[in-house]
């Protein structure tokens, strides 16, 4: 289990969920906490660098959902996806933000990098 100071990097980081609705923000934060705890359980050595990488990935995923669902800037979302090397399948049309977040994070879990 992660120490409180490390978990607070996720739980108190407003930039992680800024602009998201409550449902998708909750899904993202829960996923980040679960992944961070799994990281801490299986990692030998310092957790902080991997936690920072995980948080960066979370912020990028949140930005993708914002661009795709809230701002309808699909071109910008796809540019972000290319820059971040997101490999999950992209939605073909408008989609509910929470459903998109759940689909992305499900794919990320199957990928298993974090």
User: Is the distance from CB of 59 to CB of 98 less than 8 angstroms?
Assistant: no
| pLDDT tens digits, one per residue of 35-50 | 888 877 766 667 788 8
Residue 3, pLDDT > 60, answer no
Distance CA 92, CA 82 (A): 16
Distance CA 31, CA 65 (A): 15
| pLDDT tens digits, one per residue of 52-89 | 899 999 999 999 999 999 999 999 999 999 999 999 99
| pTM passes above 0.75 | yes
The alpha carbon dihedral of 20, 108, 87, 49 has a sign of positive
């Amino acid at each position: 289990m992660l120490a409180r100071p490390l978990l607070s990097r996720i739980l108190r980081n407003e930039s992680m969920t800024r602009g998201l609705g409550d449902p998708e923000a909750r899904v993202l934060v829960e996923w980040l906490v679960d992944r961070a705890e799994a990281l801490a359980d299986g990692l030998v050595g310092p957790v902080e660098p991997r936690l920072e990488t995980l948080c960066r990935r979370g912020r990028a995923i949140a930005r993708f959902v914002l661009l795709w669902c809230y701002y309808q800037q699909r071109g910008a979302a796809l540019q972000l996806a290319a820059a971040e090397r997101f490999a999950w399948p992209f939605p073909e049309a408008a989609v509910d933000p929470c459903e998109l977040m759940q689909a992305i994070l499900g794919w990320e879990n199957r990928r298993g990098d974090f």
